[in-house]
Chains A and B, each alone.
Chain A
Amino acid sequence: MSHPRVTALTQPLFDRSRPLPASDLPRAIDPDLDLVDRWRKGEVDAFTALVRRHQRRVFGLLLRMLGSREEAEDAVQDTFLNLHRHGHRFRRESRFSTFVYRVAINAALNRRRSLGRRRSHSDAFSEAQAVGHLGPSAETDPESALAEDQLRTRLARELHALPEKLRAPVVLFDIEGLSYGEIAEVLQVAEGTVKSRIHRARQALRARLADLVTRPESGS
Protein backbone atom coordinates (compact mmCIF):
# COMPACT_ATOMS: atom_id res chain seq x y z
CA MET A 1 0.00 0.00 0.00
CA SER A 2 1.41 3.41 -0.92
CA HIS A 3 1.86 6.05 1.70
CA PRO A 4 0.01 9.27 0.86
CA ARG A 5 3.09 11.44 1.19
CA VAL A 6 5.03 9.54 -1.42
CA THR A 7 2.21 8.92 -3.87
CA ALA A 8 3.27 11.87 -6.01
CA LEU A 9 6.76 10.45 -6.30
CA THR A 10 5.79 6.93 -7.18
CA GLN A 11 4.30 7.51 -10.61
CA PRO A 12 6.66 5.95 -13.14
CA LEU A 13 8.27 8.48 -15.44
CA PHE A 14 8.13 6.15 -18.39
CA ASP A 15 5.71 3.43 -19.17
CA ARG A 16 8.34 0.99 -20.41
CA SER A 17 7.42 -2.56 -20.96
CA ARG A 18 9.81 -5.26 -19.87
CA PRO A 19 12.53 -6.35 -22.33
CA LEU A 20 11.27 -8.16 -25.34
CA PRO A 21 11.76 -11.90 -25.65
CA ALA A 22 15.12 -12.69 -27.12
CA SER A 23 14.01 -14.62 -30.15
CA ASP A 24 11.43 -14.81 -32.89
CA LEU A 25 10.39 -11.23 -32.79
CA PRO A 26 7.32 -11.02 -34.96
CA ARG A 27 7.24 -8.53 -37.76
CA ALA A 28 4.51 -6.63 -36.02
CA ILE A 29 7.00 -5.80 -33.26
CA ASP A 30 9.90 -5.05 -35.55
CA PRO A 31 8.67 -2.97 -38.47
CA ASP A 32 12.13 -3.00 -40.09
CA LEU A 33 12.20 -6.68 -40.97
CA ASP A 34 10.57 -6.32 -44.36
CA LEU A 35 13.10 -3.73 -45.43
CA VAL A 36 15.92 -5.83 -43.95
CA ASP A 37 14.80 -8.82 -46.00
CA ARG A 38 14.68 -6.75 -49.18
CA TRP A 39 18.08 -5.26 -48.45
CA ARG A 40 19.54 -8.71 -47.95
CA LYS A 41 18.19 -9.72 -51.31
CA GLY A 42 20.25 -6.93 -52.79
CA GLU A 43 17.81 -4.03 -52.96
CA VAL A 44 19.87 -0.92 -52.37
CA ASP A 45 16.70 1.16 -52.12
CA ALA A 46 15.62 -0.88 -49.10
CA PHE A 47 18.85 -0.07 -47.32
CA THR A 48 18.47 3.61 -48.20
CA ALA A 49 14.99 3.50 -46.71
CA LEU A 50 16.42 1.98 -43.52
CA VAL A 51 19.00 4.76 -43.38
CA ARG A 52 16.28 7.40 -43.74
CA ARG A 53 14.21 5.71 -41.06
CA HIS A 54 16.99 5.54 -38.46
CA GLN A 55 19.38 8.36 -39.24
CA ARG A 56 17.70 10.93 -37.04
CA ARG A 57 17.85 8.83 -33.89
CA VAL A 58 21.33 7.59 -34.70
CA PHE A 59 22.49 11.14 -35.24
CA GLY A 60 20.94 12.24 -31.93
CA LEU A 61 22.68 9.42 -30.09
CA LEU A 62 26.02 10.14 -31.73
CA LEU A 63 25.68 13.85 -31.07
CA ARG A 64 25.21 13.15 -27.37
CA MET A 65 27.97 10.59 -27.30
CA LEU A 66 30.53 12.61 -29.24
CA GLY A 67 29.44 16.12 -28.32
CA SER A 68 30.40 17.51 -31.71
CA ARG A 69 28.00 18.00 -34.58
CA GLU A 70 30.80 17.61 -37.09
CA GLU A 71 32.01 14.37 -35.53
CA ALA A 72 28.47 13.08 -35.26
CA GLU A 73 27.86 13.73 -38.97
CA ASP A 74 30.94 11.71 -39.86
CA ALA A 75 30.07 9.00 -37.35
CA VAL A 76 26.52 8.62 -38.65
CA GLN A 77 27.95 7.83 -42.08
CA ASP A 78 30.42 5.40 -40.50
CA THR A 79 27.51 3.77 -38.72
CA PHE A 80 25.50 3.07 -41.85
CA LEU A 81 28.56 1.98 -43.85
CA ASN A 82 29.46 -0.44 -41.05
CA LEU A 83 25.86 -1.56 -40.91
CA HIS A 84 25.94 -2.34 -44.62
CA ARG A 85 29.29 -4.12 -44.18
CA HIS A 86 28.29 -6.22 -41.17
CA GLY A 87 24.55 -6.44 -41.69
CA HIS A 88 24.68 -10.22 -41.94
CA ARG A 89 25.45 -10.31 -38.22
CA PHE A 90 21.93 -9.17 -37.44
CA ARG A 91 20.26 -12.39 -36.30
CA ARG A 92 16.73 -11.20 -35.51
CA GLU A 93 17.12 -11.99 -31.83
CA SER A 94 16.36 -8.37 -31.08
CA ARG A 95 14.90 -5.42 -32.89
CA PHE A 96 16.82 -4.18 -35.90
CA SER A 97 16.87 -0.72 -34.32
CA THR A 98 18.73 -2.18 -31.32
CA PHE A 99 21.30 -3.61 -33.71
CA VAL A 100 21.63 -0.22 -35.38
CA TYR A 101 22.21 1.42 -31.99
CA ARG A 102 24.90 -1.11 -31.26
CA VAL A 103 26.68 -0.35 -34.52
CA ALA A 104 26.31 3.37 -33.79
CA ILE A 105 27.78 3.06 -30.29
CA ASN A 106 30.73 1.14 -31.72
CA ALA A 107 31.19 3.82 -34.38
CA ALA A 108 31.18 6.47 -31.65
CA LEU A 109 33.72 4.56 -29.57
CA ASN A 110 35.96 4.00 -32.59
CA ARG A 111 35.78 7.66 -33.52
CA ARG A 112 36.60 8.75 -29.99
CA ARG A 113 39.54 6.39 -29.92
CA SER A 114 40.82 7.74 -33.21
CA LEU A 115 40.35 11.30 -32.02
CA GLY A 116 42.24 10.47 -28.86
CA ARG A 117 43.17 13.50 -26.89
CA ARG A 118 43.36 15.80 -29.87
CA ARG A 119 40.16 17.49 -28.85
CA SER A 120 40.70 20.43 -26.58
CA HIS A 121 38.53 21.27 -23.65
CA SER A 122 37.28 24.35 -25.47
CA ASP A 123 35.81 22.09 -28.12
CA ALA A 124 33.50 20.66 -25.53
CA PHE A 125 31.78 24.00 -25.16
CA SER A 126 31.17 24.41 -28.86
CA GLU A 127 29.98 20.81 -28.87
CA ALA A 128 27.58 21.51 -26.08
CA GLN A 129 26.17 24.37 -28.09
CA ALA A 130 25.83 22.05 -31.03
CA VAL A 131 23.90 19.58 -28.95
CA GLY A 132 21.44 22.26 -27.97
CA HIS A 133 21.41 23.07 -31.60
CA LEU A 134 17.84 23.94 -32.41
CA GLY A 135 16.99 27.58 -32.34
CA PRO A 136 13.92 29.04 -30.66
CA SER A 137 10.62 27.67 -31.88
CA ALA A 138 8.05 29.94 -33.46
CA GLU A 139 5.64 29.56 -30.56
CA THR A 140 8.02 30.66 -27.82
CA ASP A 141 8.97 34.22 -27.11
CA PRO A 142 12.64 35.13 -27.61
CA GLU A 143 13.38 35.40 -23.91
CA SER A 144 12.09 31.99 -22.94
CA ALA A 145 13.60 30.51 -26.08
CA LEU A 146 16.98 31.85 -25.03
CA ALA A 147 16.53 30.38 -21.56
CA GLU A 148 15.54 27.07 -23.08
CA ASP A 149 18.55 27.11 -25.36
CA GLN A 150 20.84 27.89 -22.43
CA LEU A 151 19.34 25.06 -20.45
CA ARG A 152 19.86 22.58 -23.26
CA THR A 153 23.43 23.76 -23.69
CA ARG A 154 24.06 23.36 -19.98
CA LEU A 155 22.51 19.90 -19.94
CA ALA A 156 24.54 18.82 -22.93
CA ARG A 157 27.72 20.06 -21.30
CA GLU A 158 27.03 18.24 -18.04
CA LEU A 159 26.12 15.09 -19.93
CA HIS A 160 29.31 15.32 -21.90
CA ALA A 161 31.31 15.60 -18.69
CA LEU A 162 30.18 12.13 -17.61
CA PRO A 163 32.51 9.18 -18.15
CA GLU A 164 31.69 7.39 -21.38
CA LYS A 165 30.56 4.20 -19.70
CA LEU A 166 28.00 6.14 -17.67
CA ARG A 167 26.96 8.46 -20.47
CA ALA A 168 26.02 5.78 -22.98
CA PRO A 169 23.44 3.98 -20.80
CA VAL A 170 21.82 7.14 -19.47
CA VAL A 171 21.55 8.60 -22.98
CA LEU A 172 20.05 5.39 -24.30
CA PHE A 173 17.59 5.10 -21.41
CA ASP A 174 16.53 8.63 -20.53
CA ILE A 175 16.86 10.28 -23.93
CA GLU A 176 16.52 7.53 -26.52
CA GLY A 177 14.00 5.54 -24.50
CA LEU A 178 15.47 2.05 -24.79
CA SER A 179 14.67 -0.61 -22.20
CA TYR A 180 17.24 -2.04 -19.80
CA GLY A 181 17.37 -5.25 -21.83
CA GLU A 182 17.90 -3.42 -25.11
CA ILE A 183 20.66 -1.30 -23.61
CA ALA A 184 22.33 -4.41 -22.23
CA GLU A 185 22.33 -5.79 -25.73
CA VAL A 186 23.59 -2.59 -27.31
CA LEU A 187 26.43 -2.21 -24.81
CA GLN A 188 27.07 -5.95 -24.43
CA VAL A 189 26.91 -5.84 -20.65
CA ALA A 190 24.63 -7.43 -18.07
CA GLU A 191 21.26 -5.85 -17.39
CA GLY A 192 22.22 -5.32 -13.74
CA THR A 193 25.27 -3.38 -14.89
CA VAL A 194 23.04 -1.19 -17.04
CA LYS A 195 20.78 -0.39 -14.08
CA SER A 196 23.73 0.38 -11.85
CA ARG A 197 25.39 2.63 -14.43
CA ILE A 198 22.18 4.52 -15.12
CA HIS A 199 21.74 5.17 -11.41
CA ARG A 200 25.34 6.32 -11.02
CA ALA A 201 25.04 8.56 -14.07
CA ARG A 202 21.87 10.14 -12.72
CA GLN A 203 23.47 10.69 -9.35
CA ALA A 204 26.46 12.36 -10.97
CA LEU A 205 24.20 14.58 -13.07
CA ARG A 206 22.07 15.39 -10.06
CA ALA A 207 25.17 16.65 -8.27
CA ARG A 208 26.29 18.68 -11.26
CA LEU A 209 22.83 20.14 -11.75
CA ALA A 210 22.29 20.79 -8.06
CA ASP A 211 21.33 24.42 -8.64
CA LEU A 212 18.48 23.28 -10.88
CA VAL A 213 17.17 20.24 -9.06
CA THR A 214 17.55 21.10 -5.38
CA ARG A 215 14.30 22.45 -4.05
CA PRO A 216 12.78 22.33 -0.58
CA GLU A 217 10.35 19.46 -0.08
CA SER A 218 6.81 20.72 -0.42
CA GLY A 219 4.73 20.20 2.67
CA SER A 220 7.67 19.35 4.89
Chain B
Amino acid sequence: MRHDAVAARLSEYLGGSLSGRDASRVETHLASCLDCRRELRELRLTVELLRELRGGVDSPDVAETVRARIRNGEAEPSAFDRLWASATRFLSTPLGAPFATACVGLVLLAVLPRIEVEVSIPGRSTPAATVAPAPQATARAPERSRAQQGPLLARRVNESLSGRAGRLHGPAPFACLESSPLGACREQHAFMTELAIENVWAFMAEIEEVPEPRRDDLLLELSRFAAESGAASDVAARLRATGDPEAQQIAIPFEQAR
Protein backbone atom coordinates (compact mmCIF):
# COMPACT_ATOMS: atom_id res chain seq x y z
CA MET B 1 0.00 0.00 0.00
CA ARG B 2 1.36 3.39 -0.97
CA HIS B 3 2.23 6.07 1.56
CA ASP B 4 -0.68 8.38 0.62
CA ALA B 5 -3.18 5.55 0.74
CA VAL B 6 -1.94 4.51 4.20
CA ALA B 7 -1.96 8.09 5.50
CA ALA B 8 -5.57 8.51 4.36
CA ARG B 9 -6.66 5.43 6.29
CA LEU B 10 -4.82 5.92 9.55
CA SER B 11 -7.95 7.08 11.34
CA GLU B 12 -9.82 3.96 10.29
CA TYR B 13 -6.85 1.86 11.34
CA LEU B 14 -6.83 3.62 14.69
CA GLY B 15 -10.52 2.88 15.16
CA GLY B 16 -10.01 -0.78 14.33
CA SER B 17 -12.44 -0.69 11.43
CA LEU B 18 -10.08 -1.86 8.68
CA SER B 19 -10.28 -5.41 7.42
CA GLY B 20 -7.53 -7.77 8.56
CA ARG B 21 -5.85 -7.62 5.17
CA ASP B 22 -5.86 -3.82 4.98
CA ALA B 23 -4.74 -3.52 8.59
CA SER B 24 -1.84 -5.85 7.86
CA ARG B 25 -0.82 -3.72 4.87
CA VAL B 26 -0.94 -0.58 6.98
CA GLU B 27 1.22 -2.24 9.62
CA THR B 28 3.74 -3.30 7.02
CA HIS B 29 3.98 0.27 5.81
CA LEU B 30 4.14 1.67 9.35
CA ALA B 31 7.14 -0.52 10.11
CA SER B 32 9.15 1.31 7.49
CA CYS B 33 7.64 4.81 7.48
CA LEU B 34 8.64 7.21 10.21
CA ASP B 35 6.21 9.92 9.03
CA CYS B 36 3.21 7.62 9.19
CA ARG B 37 4.22 6.33 12.61
CA ARG B 38 4.45 9.90 13.87
CA GLU B 39 1.11 10.83 12.33
CA LEU B 40 -0.55 7.77 13.80
CA ARG B 41 0.84 8.56 17.25
CA GLU B 42 -0.31 12.17 17.06
CA LEU B 43 -3.75 11.21 15.80
CA ARG B 44 -4.04 8.78 18.67
CA LEU B 45 -3.15 11.47 21.17
CA THR B 46 -5.60 13.86 19.51
CA VAL B 47 -8.39 11.33 19.87
CA GLU B 48 -7.46 10.70 23.49
CA LEU B 49 -7.65 14.43 24.13
CA LEU B 50 -11.06 14.60 22.47
CA ARG B 51 -12.24 11.85 24.78
CA GLU B 52 -11.56 14.25 27.62
CA LEU B 53 -14.70 16.02 26.48
CA ARG B 54 -16.83 12.91 26.92
CA GLY B 55 -19.37 13.35 29.65
CA GLY B 56 -18.68 16.13 32.05
CA VAL B 57 -21.63 18.14 30.84
CA ASP B 58 -24.01 19.62 33.34
CA SER B 59 -27.23 19.17 31.41
CA PRO B 60 -30.37 21.09 32.35
CA ASP B 61 -33.57 19.11 32.88
CA VAL B 62 -35.84 20.28 30.09
CA ALA B 63 -38.40 17.48 30.36
CA GLU B 64 -41.02 19.49 32.24
CA THR B 65 -40.47 22.57 30.09
CA VAL B 66 -40.85 20.52 26.93
CA ARG B 67 -43.95 18.85 28.34
CA ALA B 68 -45.48 22.23 29.15
CA ARG B 69 -44.68 23.56 25.69
CA ILE B 70 -46.23 20.49 24.07
CA ARG B 71 -49.38 21.01 26.14
CA ASN B 72 -49.28 24.62 25.03
CA GLY B 73 -49.59 23.41 21.44
CA GLU B 74 -46.04 24.30 20.39
CA ALA B 75 -45.26 20.87 18.98
CA GLU B 76 -48.37 20.28 16.96
CA PRO B 77 -47.59 18.55 13.68
CA SER B 78 -48.37 20.55 10.57
CA ALA B 79 -51.33 19.63 8.38
CA PHE B 80 -48.90 18.04 5.93
CA ASP B 81 -47.30 15.99 8.69
CA ARG B 82 -50.70 14.78 9.90
CA LEU B 83 -51.71 13.88 6.37
CA TRP B 84 -48.41 12.15 5.74
CA ALA B 85 -48.65 10.22 8.99
CA SER B 86 -52.18 9.07 8.21
CA ALA B 87 -51.21 8.08 4.68
CA THR B 88 -48.16 6.09 5.75
CA ARG B 89 -50.15 4.37 8.50
CA PHE B 90 -52.85 3.40 6.03
CA LEU B 91 -50.40 2.28 3.34
CA SER B 92 -48.70 0.01 5.83
CA THR B 93 -51.97 -1.86 6.40
CA PRO B 94 -52.90 -4.87 4.20
CA LEU B 95 -55.34 -2.67 2.27
CA GLY B 96 -52.72 -0.03 1.58
CA ALA B 97 -50.97 -1.55 -1.44
CA PRO B 98 -54.16 -2.50 -3.36
CA PHE B 99 -55.60 0.94 -2.63
CA ALA B 100 -52.46 2.67 -3.91
CA THR B 101 -52.49 0.51 -7.05
CA ALA B 102 -56.13 1.33 -7.70
CA CYS B 103 -55.43 5.06 -7.26
CA VAL B 104 -52.59 4.93 -9.77
CA GLY B 105 -54.83 3.08 -12.22
CA LEU B 106 -57.60 5.65 -11.86
CA VAL B 107 -55.17 8.50 -12.38
CA LEU B 108 -53.85 6.86 -15.54
CA LEU B 109 -57.36 6.29 -16.81
CA ALA B 110 -58.17 9.94 -16.22
CA VAL B 111 -54.97 11.30 -17.73
CA LEU B 112 -54.34 9.16 -20.79
CA PRO B 113 -57.35 10.34 -22.90
CA ARG B 114 -56.36 13.93 -22.20
CA ILE B 115 -52.86 13.29 -23.44
CA GLU B 116 -54.29 12.28 -26.82
CA VAL B 117 -56.22 15.54 -27.10
CA GLU B 118 -53.26 17.65 -26.02
CA VAL B 119 -50.96 16.08 -28.60
CA SER B 120 -53.36 16.73 -31.39
CA ILE B 121 -53.94 20.42 -30.70
CA PRO B 122 -53.47 22.23 -34.00
CA GLY B 123 -52.76 25.81 -34.83
CA ARG B 124 -51.29 28.82 -33.09
CA SER B 125 -53.29 28.93 -29.91
CA THR B 126 -51.71 29.08 -26.47
CA PRO B 127 -51.47 25.82 -24.51
CA ALA B 128 -54.94 25.01 -23.42
CA ALA B 129 -56.20 23.46 -20.27
CA THR B 130 -56.58 19.75 -20.58
CA VAL B 131 -60.06 18.65 -21.43
CA ALA B 132 -61.74 15.41 -22.05
CA PRO B 133 -62.31 14.47 -25.70
CA ALA B 134 -65.16 16.47 -27.16
CA PRO B 135 -68.49 14.69 -27.13
CA GLN B 136 -70.29 14.18 -30.38
CA ALA B 137 -71.91 17.57 -30.57
CA THR B 138 -75.00 17.97 -32.65
CA ALA B 139 -74.61 21.71 -32.95
CA ARG B 140 -71.45 23.72 -33.25
CA ALA B 141 -70.25 25.50 -30.16
CA PRO B 142 -68.54 28.70 -31.30
CA GLU B 143 -67.17 29.41 -27.80
CA ARG B 144 -64.94 26.34 -27.89
CA SER B 145 -61.33 27.23 -28.47
CA ARG B 146 -59.67 25.84 -31.54
CA ALA B 147 -57.37 23.90 -29.29
CA GLN B 148 -60.38 22.00 -28.04
CA GLN B 149 -61.41 20.99 -31.50
CA GLY B 150 -58.42 19.06 -32.74
CA PRO B 151 -58.99 16.10 -35.04
CA LEU B 152 -62.72 16.57 -34.80
CA LEU B 153 -62.30 19.83 -36.70
CA ALA B 154 -60.27 18.07 -39.36
CA ARG B 155 -62.92 15.41 -39.84
CA ARG B 156 -65.73 17.93 -40.01
CA VAL B 157 -63.97 20.23 -42.46
CA ASN B 158 -62.93 17.32 -44.63
CA GLU B 159 -66.47 16.03 -44.69
CA SER B 160 -67.61 19.50 -45.64
CA LEU B 161 -64.98 19.92 -48.33
CA SER B 162 -65.63 16.54 -49.83
CA GLY B 163 -69.24 17.61 -50.29
CA ARG B 164 -69.66 20.95 -52.00
CA ALA B 165 -67.45 24.00 -51.59
CA GLY B 166 -64.29 21.94 -51.28
CA ARG B 167 -64.53 20.98 -54.89
CA LEU B 168 -63.44 24.48 -55.75
CA HIS B 169 -59.85 23.70 -54.80
CA GLY B 170 -58.07 20.45 -54.06
CA PRO B 171 -58.82 17.26 -52.09
CA ALA B 172 -59.58 17.07 -48.40
CA PRO B 173 -56.62 18.99 -47.00
CA PHE B 174 -57.15 18.13 -43.36
CA ALA B 175 -56.60 14.45 -43.97
CA CYS B 176 -53.09 14.68 -42.62
CA LEU B 177 -54.29 16.54 -39.55
CA GLU B 178 -56.39 13.57 -38.53
CA SER B 179 -53.37 11.35 -38.27
CA SER B 180 -50.18 13.37 -38.35
CA PRO B 181 -48.09 15.02 -35.61
CA LEU B 182 -48.78 18.53 -34.40
CA GLY B 183 -45.97 20.22 -36.37
CA ALA B 184 -47.33 18.91 -39.64
CA CYS B 185 -50.81 19.98 -38.62
CA ARG B 186 -49.62 23.54 -38.06
CA GLU B 187 -48.11 23.67 -41.53
CA GLN B 188 -51.30 22.30 -42.94
CA HIS B 189 -53.29 24.89 -41.06
CA ALA B 190 -51.28 27.75 -42.54
CA PHE B 191 -51.85 26.19 -45.91
CA MET B 192 -55.59 26.03 -45.22
CA THR B 193 -55.70 29.74 -44.43
CA GLU B 194 -54.24 30.50 -47.83
CA LEU B 195 -56.61 28.00 -49.38
CA ALA B 196 -59.60 29.67 -47.76
CA ILE B 197 -58.55 33.01 -49.19
CA GLU B 198 -57.95 31.52 -52.62
CA ASN B 199 -61.36 29.88 -52.52
CA VAL B 200 -62.97 33.24 -51.84
CA TRP B 201 -61.13 34.84 -54.74
CA ALA B 202 -62.23 31.98 -56.96
CA PHE B 203 -65.77 32.37 -55.71
CA MET B 204 -65.69 36.05 -56.53
CA ALA B 205 -64.22 35.41 -59.98
CA GLU B 206 -66.88 32.82 -60.82
CA ILE B 207 -69.78 34.43 -59.00
CA GLU B 208 -71.54 35.34 -62.18
CA GLU B 209 -71.58 31.70 -63.24
CA VAL B 210 -73.04 30.46 -59.96
CA PRO B 211 -76.84 30.30 -59.93
CA GLU B 212 -78.35 32.95 -57.64
CA PRO B 213 -79.91 30.60 -55.00
CA ARG B 214 -76.66 28.66 -54.77
CA ARG B 215 -74.50 31.72 -54.06
CA ASP B 216 -75.56 32.20 -50.43
CA ASP B 217 -75.11 28.51 -49.62
CA LEU B 218 -71.70 28.46 -51.18
CA LEU B 219 -70.68 31.66 -49.40
CA LEU B 220 -71.89 30.23 -46.09
CA GLU B 221 -69.87 27.07 -46.63
CA LEU B 222 -66.80 29.10 -47.45
CA SER B 223 -67.18 31.26 -44.37
CA ARG B 224 -67.66 28.22 -42.12
CA PHE B 225 -64.66 26.56 -43.66
CA ALA B 226 -62.60 29.72 -43.12
CA ALA B 227 -63.81 30.01 -39.53
CA GLU B 228 -62.88 26.43 -38.75
CA SER B 229 -59.50 27.02 -40.32
CA GLY B 230 -59.03 30.08 -38.11
CA ALA B 231 -58.82 32.17 -41.28
CA ALA B 232 -62.15 34.01 -41.20
CA SER B 233 -60.65 37.22 -39.79
CA ASP B 234 -57.87 37.25 -42.36
CA VAL B 235 -60.28 36.63 -45.20
CA ALA B 236 -62.63 39.38 -44.00
CA ALA B 237 -59.74 41.81 -43.62
CA ARG B 238 -58.44 41.03 -47.11
CA LEU B 239 -61.93 41.54 -48.56
CA ARG B 240 -62.40 44.84 -46.70
CA ALA B 241 -58.99 46.02 -47.85
CA THR B 242 -59.95 45.75 -51.51
CA GLY B 243 -62.41 48.62 -51.18
CA ASP B 244 -64.65 46.84 -53.70
CA PRO B 245 -68.37 47.25 -52.73
CA GLU B 246 -69.17 43.61 -53.57
CA ALA B 247 -66.22 42.42 -51.50
CA GLN B 248 -67.57 44.45 -48.55
CA GLN B 249 -70.81 42.47 -48.77
CA ILE B 250 -69.02 39.15 -49.09
CA ALA B 251 -66.88 40.01 -46.03
CA ILE B 252 -69.95 40.13 -43.75
CA PRO B 253 -70.52 36.33 -43.38
CA PHE B 254 -66.79 35.87 -42.71
CA GLU B 255 -66.89 38.45 -39.93
CA GLN B 256 -69.97 36.82 -38.47
CA ALA B 257 -68.41 33.39 -38.69
CA ARG B 258 -65.32 34.26 -36.60
Identify the A interface with B (CB < 8 A).
1-3, 5-6, 9-10, 12-16, 18, 44, 47-48, 51-52, 55-56, 59-60, 63-64, 73, 76-77, 80-82, 84-86, 88, 131-134, 148, 151-152, 155-156, 159, 170, 173-175, 177, 180, 195-196, 198-199, 202-203, 205-206, 209-210, 212-215, 217, 220
Query: Out of A52, A134, A159, A214, which one reaches B42, CB within 8 Å?
Result: A214
Q: Are A131 and B53 in contact (CB under 8 A)?
A: yes
Interface residues of B in 20-53 (CB under 8 A from A): 23-24, 27-28, 30-31, 34, 37-53
Given contacts A206-B42, A214-B42, contact A88 B62 (CB under 8 A): no
Q: Are A86 and B81 in contact (CB under 8 A)?
A: yes
Q: Are A174 and B51 in contact (CB under 8 A)?
A: yes
Given contacts A84-B70, A174-B50, A206-B43, contact A6 B17 (CB under 8 A): no
CB distance from A171 to the nearest CB of B (A): 8
Q: Are A88 and B37 in contact (CB under 8 A)?
A: no
Q: Are A48 and B67 in contact (CB under 8 A)?
A: yes
Count of A-B contacts with CB under 8 A? Answer: 170
Q: Are B66 and A59 in contact (CB under 8 A)?
A: no
Docked pose: A170 CA to B84 CA in angstroms = 34
Query: Out of A63, A85, A151, A155, which one reaches B76, CB within 8 Å?
Result: A85
Identify the B interface with A (CB < 8 A).
8-17, 23-24, 27-28, 30-31, 34, 37-67, 69-71, 74-78, 81, 84-85, 88
Given contacts A2-B27, A55-B59, contact A213 B49 (CB under 8 A): yes
Docked pose: A1 CA to B24 CA in angstroms = 7
Docked pose: A14 CA to B79 CA in angstroms = 44
Query: Out of A81, A88, A175, A205, which one reaches B74, CB within 8 Å?
Result: A81
Known A59-B62, A88-B77, A159-B53; 4 more pairs at CB < 8 Å: A9-B44, A13-B48, A48-B67, A77-B66
CB distance from B232 to the nearest CB of A (A): 60
Query: Out of B50, B51, B57, B77, which one reaches A134, CB within 8 Å?
Result: B57
Q: Are A10 and B27 in contact (CB under 8 A)?
A: yes
Q: Secondary structure of the B side of the interface?
A: helix
Residues of B near A52 (CB, < 8 A) are 61, 63
Q: Are A16 and B85 in contact (CB under 8 A)?
A: no
Q: Are B53 and A64 in contact (CB under 8 A)?
A: yes
Residues of B near A203 (CB, < 8 A) are 43
Query: Out of B8, B30, B53, which one reaches A3, CB within 8 Å?
Result: B30
Q: Are A16 and B16 in contact (CB under 8 A)?
A: yes
Docked pose: A159 CA to B52 CA in angstroms = 12
Q: Are A213 and B27 in contact (CB under 8 A)?
A: no
Docked pose: A13 CA to B74 CA in angstroms = 43
Query: What is the chain A residue whose CB lies nearest that of B60?
Result: A73
Docked pose: A211 CA to B21 CA in angstroms = 34
CB distance from A184 to the nearest CB of B (A): 13
Given contacts A44-B70, A59-B59, A156-B53, contact A3 B42 (CB under 8 A): no
- Chosen A-B contacts, 14 in total, with CB atoms closer than 8 Å, are A5-B31, A6-B37, A9-B30, A10-B27, A13-B16, A13-B44, A14-B15, A55-B59, A88-B77, A148-B52, A175-B54, A199-B9, A214-B42, A217-B37
Query: Out of B41, B63, B77, which one reaches A51, CB within 8 Å?
Result: B63
Residues of A near B51 (CB, < 8 A) are 174-175
CB distance from B114 to the nearest CB of A (A): 35
Residues of B near A213 (CB, < 8 A) are 42, 45-46, 49
Residues of B near A51 (CB, < 8 A) are 62-63, 66-67
